[in-house]
Structure 1
Amino acid sequence: MTTIAIVGSGYMGGGIAQVLALAGYDVRIADVSAEIAASSLQRLIAEAGQFAADGLFPEDAVERVTQRITAAESIEAAVVDADFIEEAVPEKIEIKHATLARISQAARPDAVIGSNTSTILIASLAEAVERPERFLGVHFSNPAPFIPGVELIPHEGTDLSLVPFVEEIVAATGKQTAVVKDATGFVLNRLQYALFHEASQIVEEGIASPEDIDTIVRTTFGFRLPFFGPFAIADMAGLDVYAFCYASLQTRWPERFATPASLQELVDAGKYGTKSGAGYLDVPAERTPELVAYRNKAYVAMQKLLDELGPAPIHPAPALEEETAR
């Protein structure tokens, strides 16, 4: 059995603790004080009850969370005999350094330590860890109980033989892992902030409002993203088409939208994506009809789900008409 400690019991750390407990792990949570950890535990139990009532967690979630999660008196008490420890304290390097130093001093020498940092270089955090070869990034996304992807980020000194151990823990929660190199922003936030940067520039240029941009993203290319990543989408669209579109964008922004070298190399080699049987992902041409059928079915199912859920409650509800009779 694997014992897990979560240091930092706030929104992210608490959510990670919940899914690990539901996966059958014994989890200890710790925070800056025993009182905060105990309060967080009560919040996690109450949340589990609400999530279960809403059909988001199993019906016995409260029982499982209550049985599996305990609040430790201190960071040291939480990590002392843990097999895996996840640090989830605020995204400030000085706080993380101080916390990771306490964790690594109190933990077993063979305990694996992860950090839920969003953007800080893992190598920079590793400076505070004793035996940094057992340390890596394990980046869950917000909200941790419901977002299925987790970035695993070894630094140059990480013992890579430990990665499968962490992958197994994450897989037990039903989530999917991707192993990426240690670089500022990793993959998730580098892409997310690139999109936000371009969207904010479009607003500042007066081309569209934030509301209209959100509508376009949700209902066009963003609609595809639950099923296909950017390379699969490009392969299906046609890499030659992408090259033409880059050329068009370059008439206004030649540097910002310079054609990626990898794209140009594929197009020059006659590899246009699914229609030629070779592209970024090398999907065989004979599978194209099957892929198209899946795509169409997926998009229709997504629209039905959105229709069932209704619009997100972002904008104020329409005001009720005043009564005409008093």
Structure 2
Amino acid sequence: MTEGTDPLAGRTIAVIGSGYMGGGIAQVLALAGARVRLADLDAATATADRDRLISEARRFADDGLFPAHAADTIADRVEASAGYEQAVDGADFVEEAVPEKIDIKHDVLRRVSAATAPDTVIGSNTSTILIGRIAEAVEHPERFLGVHFSNPAPFIPGVEVIAHAGTDPAILPGVCEIVRATGKQPALISDAEGFVLNRLQYALFSEASALVDEGIASAEDVDTVVRTTFGFRLPFFGPFAIADMAGLDVYKFCYESMQTRWPERFATPRALAEHVENGRLGTKSGGGFLDVPAERVPELVAYRNTAYVRMQQLLDELGPAPIRNEEKETDQ
């Protein structure tokens, strides 16, 4: 976020659940200018977590991850509330971030929704539970939706904004405005198990685990392949942009190759087959899943190449993550 700007100034936001995720959300909201009321099971828990957030902010500032004023700003703008009802009273927006158990969320949201004005928008930070199912406990469920920050909330820029079937579409722009004010990027998602983030993330993990189970590669080597090949592209391009640049006809051929062993597991996606049949092969044909005008393709390629070189320079500067066993690598 840009230091010196307060896009949420004058807004009061309640964060229900002061643990690791809720606390991180409270930090970014406060740094964006909001007055934040933090609540948990009791006042003592909320107070202890508020103190932790201030200490964390001081450490993050020392490390250059937060602005220098972060700890003082969070101390000034984050208040530990006596309880859920006190936190949400008069709040402009409520973000629920209690544990990922439907019974707990229902119990908390019954109390929260009963204590708020009927038009106060309430978001849930659930990562996998259907928003429509959680909404069963919310009074006036049309003002309820998912607002899913990722872990760690202060540093991951993407936020899933998830409307259930009964969500009033009119509330979506305002919620996206709050998300953008924290320096995050909202993505509008329909209600479905796992949403987008975890449906993709766990699909990758399942396939990675299968590779290890089959003896194809070790966990370490799978991680190496992911982070140094297609994972290297992902900070800049999503799967559709990557496919378009690779060539959709190439993708279709690769699916057909893998179908010789896994005909159902790697069945060619319908949309991919249709694009290829219609001659939409990606950037080389002027269009695929995304429409990139032919005259912009050289600019796109130049951006891509520069981005990858800069990414490698950053990784060289940071050095390897402190995960790998250096003694084991030396022995080998």
**TM-score normalized by structure 1?**
0.97
Q: Which amino acid aligns with 2:317?
A: E
Structure 1 residue 318 displacement after superposition: 3.6
Structure 1 segments unaligned to the other structure (5+ residues) = 322-326
Whole-Å separation in 2 of the counterparts to 1:111 and 1:244: 51
Name the CA distance, whole Å, in 2 between partners of 1:206 and 1:315: 20
Of 160, 180, 205 in structure 2, the residue corresponding to residue 171 of structure 1 is 180
Equivalent of 2:301 in 286, 292, 295: 292
Counterpart of 2:222 in structure 1 is 213
Over the residues paired in the alignment, what is the CA RMSD in angstroms? 1.0
Query: Are residue 161 (structure 1) and residue 161 (structure 2) matched?
Result: no
Q: Distance in 2 between matches of 1:125 and 1:181?
A: 15
Partner residue in 2 for 1:5:
14
Q: Distance in 1 between matches of 2:327 and 2:64?
A: 28
Identity across aligned pairs (percent)?
Answer: 70
Among 56, 79, 104, which residue is 1:70 paired with?
A: 79
Q: Give the drift of 1:40.
A: 0.3
Partner residue of 2:6?
A: none
Q: How does 1:18-167 map to 2 (within 5 A)?
A: 18-167=27-176
CA shift at 1:62, angstroms?
0.9
In the TM superposition, residue 317 of structure 1 has moved relative to its aligned partner by: 4.9
Residue 254 (1) aligns with residue 224 (2)? no
User: What amino acid maps onto 2:132 in structure 1?
Assistant: A
Secondary structure (helix, strand or coil) at the match of 1:101 reads helix
Q: Distance in 1 between matches of 2:232 and 2:216?
A: 22
Contact 1:83 1:110 in 2 (8 A): no
CA displacement at 1:109 relative to structure 2: 1.6
Q: Which whole-Å CA distance do the structure 2 matches of 1:317 and 1:109 have between them? A: 57
Cα distance per residue 1:158-209 (max 9 Å; x no partner): 1110111111111011100000100000000000000000000010000000
Which of 203, 218, 222 matches 2:212?
Answer: 203
User: Is the contact between residue 274 and residue 288 of structure 1 (CA under 8 Å) also seen in structure 2?
Assistant: yes
* 1:4–1:27 Cα contact (<8 Å) kept: yes
Task: After TM superposition, give the deviation of residue 108 of structure 1 in Å.
Answer: 1.6
Query: C-alpha separation between the residues in 2 aligned to 1:170 and 1:51?
Result: 21
After superposing on structure 2, the runs of 4+ consecutive aligned residues of structure 1 that deviate more than 4 Å are none
Q: Secondary structure at the match of 1:178?
A: strand
The secondary structure found in structure 2 opposite 1:275 is helix
Verify the 8 A CA contact 1:86 1:115 in the aligned structure 2: yes
User: For each residue in 1:263-302, what CA deviation from the matched residue of structure 2 results, as whole angstroms up to 9, or x when unmatched?
Assistant: 0000000110000001000111221110000000000000
What TM-score, normalized to structure 2?
0.95
